[in-house]
Chain A
């Protein structure tokens, strides 16, 4: 059976695995995760943590950059800013987030 992005992604990003959010006020469902990496900052090693929200590519418009993403509930509740948009694959994109103060 062929992959149907509209149906199959809806299942992946549905309630069981996904997190409900609002991207610049527009409802969006995605998968939240955090990943650490070692970077050199001023020549000194530092652990940088990236917060990433994976969404269907159709819900990651280019003008989402610098827009607020609000997660209303759950362990990751809060307001974020989209600082990068990275293609993950043909059907999904990664919104890289910075926490608001």
Chain B
């Protein structure tokens, strides 16, 4: 059995883990993530943000979904490497977006995919910790009365 939303999550995670893996291979689904450890400088955490079914007009017809994934890019020491350069969290987020939009195993599961929002968070500790979160909007279809992709 395949659940479309779960398959999207898995495909996104696998795309980011393809060589050369982003964040040094520290790519996780949220439910598998134990937390960014002290020894990790970067990590990407992927989760299902929301999934909303479009109005069904015909009984027995396939269901179209607006599903959004959340891509959290966590970075320790989010300082610009040098003046005028991009902060590591922003660079990681950009790399993740490019990877997902160019990965056919992922894009093949959806009829439309586009970035819809970015949320920043950061805190000062012994280094500047930052999290840039991208919400990726996806449209896809499942069979009637099922979450199996069509």
Residue numbers of A with Cβ under 8 A of B are 34, 36, 38-39, 41-51, 83, 97-99, 101
Contact = CB atoms under 8 A, between A and B. Distances in A.
A96 B131 CA distance: 21
Interface stretch (B4-12, B31-39, B53-61, B98-106): B31-39
Interface of B: 30, 33-38, 45, 72, 74, 77, 79, 119-133
Contacts of A98: 124-128
B124 A83 contact: yes
Q: Is the interface of B mostly helix, strand, loop or mixed?
A: strand
B123 A41 contact: yes
Contacts of B131: 41-42, 44, 46
B33 A44 contact: yes
Contact of A39 (B45, B77, B123): B123
B79 A44 contact: no
6 contacts: A41-B123, A42-B72, A42-B74, A49-B125, A99-B77, A99-B127
A64 to B, nearest CB: 15
B74 A44 contact: yes
Q: Is the interface of A mostly helix, strand, loop or mixed?
A: strand
B126 A44 contact: no
B121 A42 contact: yes
Contacts of B123: 39, 41, 48
Contacts of B34: 45
Nearest to B126: A51
B38 A47 contact: yes
Nearest to B89: A42
A42 B132 CA distance: 7
Contacts of A38: 35
A14 B13 CA distance: 52
A38 B125 CA distance: 12
